[in-house]
Structure 1
Amino acid sequence: LLYLAFLVWYYCTISIRESILKANGSRIKGWWRMHHILSTVCSGVLLVWPESETWSEFKQQFLWYNIYNCFIQYLQFKYQRGALYRLKALGERDNMDITIEGFHSWMWRGLTFLLPFLFIGYTFQLVNALVLYNLSYHPKATWHVIVSSVLFFIFFVGNTTTTIMVVPDKIREKMRFQCRVMTQRLYNVVNEKVIKIG
């Protein structure tokens, strides 16, 4: 019960933070803001779900999902912290930055490590949705079961779709960066030859 109350508070604060960041010009995808608002709703539904047979059947799976979700959040934190550290070392960010806009080619390696773990988490959301959907046919099922099922399915579809759409953008940014580097190198070579001739 205390953990579910914590989740409501956590997702409320993240939603408020992201709204402030968006108002200050952040380019955060709309889905991630919506995801955290829906997560607040889902946590609230789970918080008021009374002790019942259906809750008892789902509780263990929900615990494992949350353990995996914490692991994913830790991996994302390490990725973000590593990217910020490198940008600070390169002098492209200062100590007060807490997030990154844009993408550098060297970030691709960390992202490709992270992606399989993310998709496993999204699959876990689909499994939660299906298990809850099946539990909704239980004779003593309350409205909490089907609402949670729908929300987990929305999380699965939204997270998967948004991540699949973001990856090609990251690849394009990487290609643009490589093109700029190649163009700069070519310009430097041509410029050196012109200087030698002149």
Structure 2
Amino acid sequence: MNGGETEQRLAEEAARLADLARELQESASAHISKTWTDEQALRHRAAALQSDIRALQSRINSSSSSSKNADLKDLEKAEDELCRARSAVTDGDLASLLPTKSHGAFLKMFLGPVNVRATRKEIQLKVKQEYNSYRDRTAFLFLLFPSILLFLRSWMWNGCFPALPVQLYQAWLLFLYTCLALRENILRVNGSDIRPWWIYHHYCAMLMALVSLTWEINGQPDCAHKQRGIQLFLAWAMMQGIAMLLQNRYQRQRLYTRIALGKAKRMDVVWGEASGVEGQLWALYPILFILQGFEAYVGMLLLRTAFVSVVSSLAGNLLWELAGLDGSG
């Protein structure tokens, strides 16, 4: 008797929980439907506001070219107000309601058709913060790895690089540039103002690292001559690491200033040499020009080495065929 009553209570409790689950499901569906309807209305209003801002900006630009000096103050005031409106639209929570940028073929190739747009601003800023931290870490490693290889070459390897450490470094470069390109594409989808050419140049760097993995790292005899290109490449990488550390510091300071003045969004990141102030850039100019010149020299040296190797190989094959013809005659 007691067992039957217990089972009946359990059945009644299960039925009560099932009814509660159905009630909560209906409430959740109604809430989601209402939220989606409100969100669509906000999306239309945000898109209309963004279109009005663009139209007014074009009118201000056309008026500024034909206005007199007396009217410039009113135009500057209108420009400031429009800048505040644009910042509220693109740099606040309203930005998540605007149409997202295309993910692009690169993200689709690695991640598939996955939406990487964060709906909450704090998550977007966390993505940007992690990107900046990654750049700082890799700039230090960019300087550390070739320094260790060059030091071990003279101290332990008797002036001759083994193949494995150099190829591991080149594989790390491929990983580095691939990660940077992925993170920058994700930042761009989330509203960051990264120029496309900055991402494309990382695509080229990925190709460079992939090609460098195919280098034939010859040893003795005459190791110093055969590995001259590798030695110069590592020296260039050290210079690049120093330039990256200086750029990250100077450009980060300039970006904070631009954000405080309302001329940049909080999601923007540093992406090139043009973000520093004039005095800071004067400190970077000598390093950047020397770096580019040295990079061109290393490229020409590697191109000449490859050309000489191809010509020598063709000449050897030709001599071998001529020797075979003489022998058969």
TM over 0.5: yes
Closer, same or farther: CA 55–16 of 1 in aligned 2, 3 Å: farther
1:2 maps onto 2:173 in alignment: no
2:185 counterpart residue number: 19
In 2, the alpha carbon distance for the partners of 1:127 and 1:78 equals 28
CA RMSD in angstroms, aligned pairs only = 3.3
**Partner in structure 2 of residue 48 of structure 1:** 214
The structure whose RCO (Cα within 8 Å, separation 6+) is larger is 1
Partner of 1:28: 194
The 8 Å contact of residues 246 and 284 in structure 2, kept in 1 or not, is answered as yes
Aligned to 1:139: 309
Are residues 58 and 82 of structure 1, via their aligned partners in 2, closer, same or farther at CA, if it must alter by over 3 Å?
same
SS in 2 for 1:138: helix
Deviations 1:41-89 (A, max 9, x none): 1111112322237861211101110000001101101112322454577
1:158 matched to which residue of 2? none
C-alpha displacement of 1:114: 1.8
Aligned to 2:229: 58
CA distance in 2, matches of 1:93, 1:23: 17
Aligned residues: 139
Q: Which structure 2 segments of 5+ residues have no match?
A: 1-166, 220-224, 312-329
Q: Percent same amino acid among aligned pairs?
A: 31
Partners of 1:98 and 1:76 in 2: CA distance: 12
The answer to whether the Cα contact below 8 Å between 2:194 and 2:269 also exists between their aligned partners in 1 is no
Q: Structure 2: how far apart are the matches of 1:42 and 1:26?
A: 26
Structure-2-length-normalised TM-score: 0.36
Q: 1:108 to 1:2 in 2, by over 3 A?
A: same
Distance 2:227 2:271 in 1: 41
Larger Rg: 2
Q: Give the Cα–Cα distance (whole angstroms) in 1 for the partners of residues 268 and 293 of structure 2.
A: 32
1:111 is the counterpart of 2:281: yes
Amino acid at match of 2:300: L
Q: Does 1:79 align with 2:250?
A: yes
